Amino acid sequence: MKQKSSFLCSECGYESAKWYGKCPSCGAWNTMEEFREAKQTAPRGTLAKSDRRRNKPLQIDAIETQEEVRLHTGISELDRVLGGGAVKGSFVLVGGEPGIGKSTLLLQMCQEMCRQAKVLYVSGEESLRQIRLRADRLHISSPELFVLAETDLEEMIEETDLLQPDVLIVDSIQTVYKSDLSSAPGNTTQIKECAMTLMQYAKRRGVTIFIVGHVNKEGTLAGPKILEHMVDCVLYFEGEKQISFRCLRAAKNRFGSTNEIGVFEMSDCGLIEVPNPSAAMLSGHPMDASGNCIACTIEGSRPILAEIQALVTKTAYGTPRRMSAGVDYNRMVLLLAILEKRVGLYLSASDAYINVIGGMRLDEPAIDLPIALAVASSYRDQPLPEGVMAFGEVGLTGELRAVTAAAQRIHEAIRLGFSTCIMPQQDIGRMKIPEGFHIIQTRNIAQAIGAAFGAKQ
pLDDT tens column, 264-273: 998 888 899 9
Instruction: Out of 275, 306, 338, pick the residue that ends a domain.
Output: 275
**Residue 307 in contact with residue 388, Cβ under 8 Å?**
no
Report if residue 54 sits inside a domain: no
For residues 84 and 230, membership in a common domain is answered with yes
Residue 199 and residue 205: Cα distance in Å, rounded? 10
For residues 135 and 257, membership in a common domain is answered with yes
Q: What total number of domains does the chain contain? A: 3
Report if residue 83 sits inside a domain: yes
Residue 338 and residue 332: Cα distance in Å, rounded? 10
Q: Which residue has the higher pLDDT, 57 or 394?
A: 394
Residue 290 and residue 292: Cα distance in Å, rounded? 6
pLDDT in tens, 355-391: 998 778 898 999 999 999 999 999 999 999 999 999 9
Which regions of 10-60 does DSSP assign to beta strands (E)? 15-16, 32-36
Most confident of 6-10, 224-228, 230-234, 308-312: 308-312
DSSP-assigned letters across all residues of 375-421: HHHHHHT-PPPTTEEE--EE-TTSBEE--S-HHHHHHHHHHTT--EE
Does pLDDT of 222 surpass 80?
Answer: no
Instruction: Out of 228, 250, 275, pick the residue that ends a domain.
Output: 275
* Lowest pLDDT segment from 5-14, 151-160, 342-351: 5-14
For residues 298 and 153, membership in a common domain is answered with no
State the pLDDT confidence band at 1, using cuts at 50, 70 and 90.
very low
For residues 233 and 249, membership in a common domain is answered with yes
Report if residue 21 sits inside a domain: yes
pLDDT in tens, 8-43: 787 777 778 888 999 888 888 888 887 665 554 444
Report if residue 388 sits inside a domain: yes
Closest Cα to residue 415, out of 262, 278, 280, 293? Answer: 278
> Starting from the edge strand earliest in sequence, which strands make up the sheet with 15-16, in order?
15-16, 5-9, 32-36
Does pLDDT of 394 surpass 50?
Answer: yes
> Residue 443 half-sphere exposure, CB side, CA atoms within 13 Å?
0
pLDDT in tens, 86-112: 999 999 999 988 888 999 999 999 988
For residues 405 and 447, membership in a common domain is answered with yes
**Residue 345 in contact with residue 379, Cβ under 8 Å?**
yes
For residues 287 and 245, membership in a common domain is answered with no
Report if residue 407 sits inside a domain: yes
Q: Which residue has the higher pLDDT, 356 or 456?
A: 356
| Bridge partners, residue 212, by sequence | 94
For residues 287 and 268, membership in a common domain is answered with no
| Cβ-proximal residues to 33 (8 Å cutoff; 6+ apart), any chain | 7, 8, 9, 10, 187, 188, 189
Domain that holds residue 149: 70-275
pLDDT in tens, 330-341: 999 999 999 999
Give the mean pLDDT of 423-438. Answer: 87
The answer, yes or no, to whether the previous bond of 90 is cis (omega within 30 of 0) is: no
For residues 333 and 387, membership in a common domain is answered with yes
Residue 364 and residue 304: Cα distance in Å, rounded? 12
Report if residue 144 sits inside a domain: yes
402, with CB counted inside 10 A (0-12, 13-18, 19+), is middle
pLDDT in tens, 105-123: 999 999 889 988 999 999 9
For residues 387 and 427, membership in a common domain is answered with yes
Instruction: Out of 243, 275, 307, pick the residue that ends a domain.
Output: 275
For residues 247 and 184, membership in a common domain is answered with yes
Does pLDDT of 219 surpass 70?
Answer: no
For residues 356 and 448, membership in a common domain is answered with yes
Report the CATH number that the domain containing residue 420 is assigned in CATH: 3.30.230.10
For residues 319 and 210, membership in a common domain is answered with no
Report if residue 136 sits inside a domain: yes
Amino acid occupying residue 36:
R
Amino acid occupying residue 251:
A
Q: Which residue has the higher pLDDT, 49 or 85?
A: 85
Report if residue 82 sits inside a domain: yes
* Lowest pLDDT segment from 57-66, 258-267, 372-381, 435-444: 57-66
